[in-house]
Structure 1
């Protein structure tokens, strides 16, 4: 589904990521872990078009996507969340998710201004899809509330729901459990597995909560100082000496 080959990115004289490669298959949950500053979010930024890699290639569903603008990458059904929540706080929960449908809207300005039959049909279908997504995330009862009024855990879920509304085949989650309490993290773990199965998507996950990562990931890649130091199934990663040294020090 996705293949990144020998990605390198430099900012001036700083090499932030060096020679990084990864492959993600159909309906896989893959973890990307490493100490703070290891380059994990930088890799997400390259995969989603925020940064163009200095070297290397990225192919998604058989097409090269490196160097494309973020909105073009999203239109090709690759979506992401962010480490820091980026909701439209003064808009309703419903409207935050509906924004994701913008690139799929097929009616004209004329249809929107005069609320034609075509406009009403598309809007009604969109509303139904959004309600189904909100129901999956236990947010349907908050549909008309402002996003800024939600609890922290609910805002995290809403951001994932908004990304999922773009109908991705691959969803990138950047520290979705950050700031959550243990109960919320456990619920998030079940939610991630549920959306993988319900929506038939693959997931690439950055996370520091090792219990969550080890519990849901099929494979894990480990990054340290911008370089991949290990890759494998969770049981192998747990006991890898290089991984232990990266997190705890030699």
Structure 2
């Protein structure tokens, strides 16, 4: 099992934002985390990535307990994410945004960086080559020297995914990746995520409100409402679950 989450909970004062959240994600799987606004989905992502410390429960990646570790450590272990609101380094170039993520993989230390040792030069060539290959794979190589904030919205979303992939993750968390996209961009993104799963052999957990997007992409769904899981299963099963219908549309007919 790639990811095991057991009884994860988070209290903010008297509010239980996440209540006994438990899931398992297999290797090379796309899972959707859905639910109404305020259901606790992004809080779950923040718990998985160390932004918040859980009140109870644990997170294991490939059997290793990574609960409440620092975000950079969890990234090094193999969990990367994007954000609901794009958080690129907007004054850096497209290439520099990717290089920032690659640099924690380098094998030289402070000494090597200061004195520009042989291994420093070798590693800098390697990470640049890998960054350019990623940009080429996602159609952004020709724009690598442009400021990130000059890209159209859809390409900024794509760059954020590339930056996350540059950390060599085992699990990629996507927080509303299709938000603000037009239908053509959404269809292209769906193909992109399918390609990521196949080409990079990683698993994807995504939050999304576009149900057509979710139903066409995810192999399994987990539905949250008021911090609690109210349904799990294949998309067709979840779609027809009365509790899910009620949570999204009010009282089910």
TM-score (norm 2): 0.97
Aligned residues of 2:103 and 2:127 also touching (Cα < 8 A): no
- Write the distance in 1 (CA, Å) between the matches of 2:69 and 2:7: 18
Q: CA deviation at 1:117?
A: 2.5
Aligned residues: 250
Instruction: Output aligned runs, 1:136-147, within 5 Å.
Output: 136-147=137-148
Q: Is 2:109 aligned against 1:133? A: no
- Write the distance in 1 (CA, Å) between the matches of 2:4 and 2:139: 33
- Write the distance in 2 (CA, Å) between the matches of 1:236 and 1:37: 23
Instruction: Output aligned runs, 1:43-82, within 5 Å.
Output: 43-82=44-83
- 1:244 aligned residue: 245
Runs of 4+ in 1 over 4 A off after TM superposition: none
- 2:120 aligned residue: 119
Over the aligned positions, Cα root-mean-square deviation in angstroms equals 0.9
- Write the distance in 2 (CA, Å) between the matches of 1:78 and 1:224: 24
- Write the distance in 1 (CA, Å) between the matches of 2:78 and 2:21: 23
Aligned residues of 2:33 and 2:223 also touching (Cα < 8 A): yes
- 2:199 aligned residue: 198
- 1:165 aligned residue: 166
Structure 1 unmatched ranges of 5 or more: none
- 1:230 aligned residue: 231
- Write the distance in 1 (CA, Å) between the matches of 2:9 and 2:110: 43
Q: CA deviation at 1:111?
A: 2.9
- 2:175 aligned residue: 174
- Write the distance in 2 (CA, Å) between the matches of 1:66 and 1:231: 23
- Write the distance in 2 (CA, Å) between the matches of 1:61 and 1:203: 15
- Write the distance in 2 (CA, Å) between the matches of 1:50 and 1:69: 7
Q: CA deviation at 1:110?
A: 3.6
- 1:40 aligned residue: 41
